Homo-oligomer: A and B are copies of this chain.
Amino acid sequence: MKRSLGAKTLAMPSPVWVIGTYDAAGTPNLMTVAWGGICCSKPPAVSISLREATYTYACVVGRRAFTVNVPSVSHAAAADLVGVVSGREGDKFAAAGLTAVPSELVDAPYVEEFPLNLECRLVDSLKLGLHTLFVGEIVDVKADEEVLGRDGYPTVDGVRPFTFVVAEQSYYALGDRIGPAFAAKRKSAAS
């Protein structure tokens, strides 16, 4: 039996990504977002949504760049912290014990301690309501060597990413691997 829950953002899961930017003075800033996702394969692009009231909003608009930094489970407290305090209140890198590395490709810093970093150039935006959606073209991905698998790609065991579940207002780790994607295609091709 289905129950109607009303018009709410109750999809699951959402990512936990920490956005790196510079403010007008060039000070590195951080903010955690859960409203976002990959949005295009060619060119590779990611979207994040920000409220206009956030400090990061002005940074993204001003510098036309941001980084998407994927924290490990071990960074959950740091990611949570930079999601609830504002960059107006002080240096969030310092507060969270994180290190800002200047990107050589876009006008934004990435997080040294987080295992996976996407360097993005702002290419589009869409005002939706409380949030504005920003599209960043991914110009490079940086990853810690120790999180890479044999194929040179980051692994779940290495990165240990986690998710935000809005319905429970909680963070969850990834768990068991279910299996390969597109298995139906392989099966179909084999038959």
| Chain A contacts to B: CB under 8 angstroms | 1-15, 17, 34-47, 49, 68, 70, 73, 76-77, 80-81, 83-85, 101, 112, 116-118, 123-124, 126, 128-131, 133, 135, 137-145, 148-149, 152-156, 159, 161-185, 188
Contact = CB atoms under 8 A, between A and B. Distances in A.
Nearest to A169: B181
A41 B131 contact: yes
Question: What 4 A-B pairs come out closest when comparing CB atoms?
Answer: A175-B175, A37-B37, A42-B130, A84-B185
A37 B15 contact: yes
Contact of A176 (B6, B39, B172, B188): B172
Secondary structure of the A side of the interface?
strand
Given A9-B46, A80-B182, A155-B168, 5 more contacts: A35-B39, A41-B129, A45-B128, A133-B135, A170-B181
Contacts of A182: 80, 83-84, 169
Contact of A47 (B47, B123, B124): B47
Contacts of A165: 156, 174
Contact of A128 (B15, B39, B81): B39
A57 B176 CA distance: 32
Contacts of A101: 2
Contacts of A130: 40-42
Nearest to A36: B37
Nearest to A35: B38
A45 B147 CA distance: 34
A122 to B, nearest CB: 13
B142 A3 contact: yes
